[in-house]
Amino acid sequence: MRIGIYGGSFDPFHNGHLAMIRSALKSGIVDCVITVPSVCNSFKRYTSILPAPYRYYMVRDCIDTLGIKNVYTSDVEFGIEGVSYTVLTLKALTEPGYIKAFLEGNGVKSKKASEDHKFYWLMGSDTLATFETWYKPGEILDMATLLVAARPGDDTDIEVCSRSIRKNLGGDIEVFRLDGVECSSSGIVRDDRFDMCPEPVLDFIKTHDLYSENTRLEGISDEAKKQFFDYSVLMYKYLGEKRLLHTLNVGILSAHLAEVFGADKDKALIAGAIHDCAKELDIDEQRRLAREYSGDVFTDKKLLHSPGGATFARDKMGIEDKEILDAVCYHTTGRGNMSVLEKIVYLADKIEPSRTYTDLTDIRIAAESDLDQAMRMTVSSVRDKFIKQGRDIHPMTLDLMRDLGM
Ligand SMILES: [Fe+2]
Ligand SMILES: [Fe+2]
């Protein structure tokens, strides 16, 4: 098969990206296109707005929902250590074992998936001029033909650039005409032009409340943002889509609540973002990790991931900060004398934007001004649920209720 590979930040994925994919397919040069959302792009390291899992699922869900034939999304960069340079992405993706399994997993017949494939790296004409400065461009050309979209309005002389690349590095370059809208992700965010995004992307953005004023991580330190991005990639290995996006949402909302209630925003972001990191581990593993953090305080299966998560965060992420670890440990039960940070994570867990288990409007409004009131409303709905299900309320939750005057 002739396979086009389209890497990018997709922050957000927009109609210009779709035009690129559709035009490449229409050109007849490639049989299919694999989109590869960047995990740790060499040019935009840690500068994207959203960590990789959001962008990966945004693209994948959009392409699936639109049902565009012969277009697939790869998470191959999640497996690359450090900066995911194009040359490394290509190496991983073109590896015969990987590409065959990937194509079969996307419904391509085994015989076709096992063919000797020819790979094309998709790029806009504007980036062609910089290609020779990329990391190991010669090796890139050994693995793939450059497939250049002639963008209307871009005055790059494709002929001149191609000649120089061929002369200095060898390799093949092909050009196709780009039909459709021109837009940029940064422009869309800056000018609030989300109408340039396809419907499924808009739904995704709305569900997770992304790119809004409260969720842009302003005022977060570079170090915390870097940790947030790195942990999100690490957790991708351990959590499914829904839970991973939930736990990241809790991080972003916690950072916002920390701003409102004067807590440490960096710590809130991290504690919230990792609070469910252990939730999909084997239950015996959760029990072992839980015991390590807090002995036999937690025995209920549904609670083990909280103290277990604290141990996991310490061992796998190297987090030593006790305030962060405790916020993770007590996010399900709460406890007496909770810190503001602990309350924030507890609350954000129950009301992050993708939560729909009940009408949360009133609690969300309260959470913008009165932390304890929002806590009371949340704990009381938890208590009602427990009573309905005939479950005992944990003694630590009773301590929390007492503190809140319930
Ligand atoms: Fe949890
Ligand atoms: Fe949670």
pLDDT digits (tens, 9 = 90+) for 260-274: 999 999 999 999 999
Residue located via tokens 């559709």: 22
* Distance (Å) from CA 331 to ligand 1 centroid: 6
Spatial separation of the C-alpha atoms in residues 257 and 101, rounded to whole Å: 43
Instruction: Report the helix count and the strand count for the chain, using DSSP H and E.
Output: 20, 6
Residue located via tokens 């991080």: 251
The per-residue pLDDT for range 16-40, each reduced to its tens digit, is 999 999 999 999 999 999 999 999 8
As residues whose CB is below 5 A from the ion ligand 1, the structure lists: 276
The per-residue pLDDT for range 316-327, each reduced to its tens digit, is 999 999 999 999
* Distance (Å) from CA 47 to ligand 2 centroid: 26
DSSP code string of 84-142: --HHHHHHHHHSHHHHHHHHHHTT--HHHHTS--EEEEEEEHHHHTTGGGSSSHHHHHH
Residue located via tokens 């943002």: 225
* Distance (Å) from CA 74 to ligand 2 centroid: 27
Please provide the average confidence, as pLDDT, over all residues in the chain: 94
Quote the tokens at residue 131. 């290609």
| pLDDT over 90 (residue 151) | no
* Distance (Å) from CA 403 to ligand 2 centroid: 23
What is the largest distance, in Å, between two alpha-carbon atoms of the chain? 77
* Distance (Å) from CA 359 to ligand 1 centroid: 20
The predicted structure's pLDDT at residue 45:
65
Q: Counting ligands in written order, which one lies closest to the CA of residue 303? A: 1
Which is it for the CA torsion 152, 72, 225, 12, positive or negative?
positive
Spatial separation of the C-alpha atoms in residues 106 and 167, rounded to whole Å: 38
Q: Counting ligands in written order, which one lies closest to the CA of residue 242? A: 2
* Distance (Å) from CA 277 to ligand 1 centroid: 8
54-60 average pLDDT score: 98
* Distance (Å) from CA 41 to ligand 2 centroid: 29
The per-residue pLDDT for range 292-311, each reduced to its tens digit, is 999 888 888 999 999 999 99
Q: Counting ligands in written order, which one lies closest to the CA of residue 304? A: 1
* Distance (Å) from CA 203 to ligand 2 centroid: 21
148-159 average pLDDT score: 86
Torsions phi, psi of 124, nearest 5? -80, 155
The predicted structure's pLDDT at residue 360:
93
The per-residue pLDDT for range 164-174, each reduced to its tens digit, is 999 999 999 99
Query: Quick one: angle between helices 52-66 and 222-236, nearest 10?
Result: 50
Spatial separation of the C-alpha atoms in residues 142 and 138, rounded to whole Å: 6
- Residue 163 CB contacts under 8 Å (≥ 6 apart), including other chains: none
The predicted structure's pLDDT at residue 153:
77
- Residue 357 CB contacts under 8 Å (≥ 6 apart), including other chains: none
In the chain, the percentage of residues whose pLDDT exceeds 70 is 99
The half-sphere exposure of 303 on its side-chain side, counting CA atoms within 13 A, is 21
Q: Counting ligands in written order, which one lies closest to the CA of residue 345? A: 2
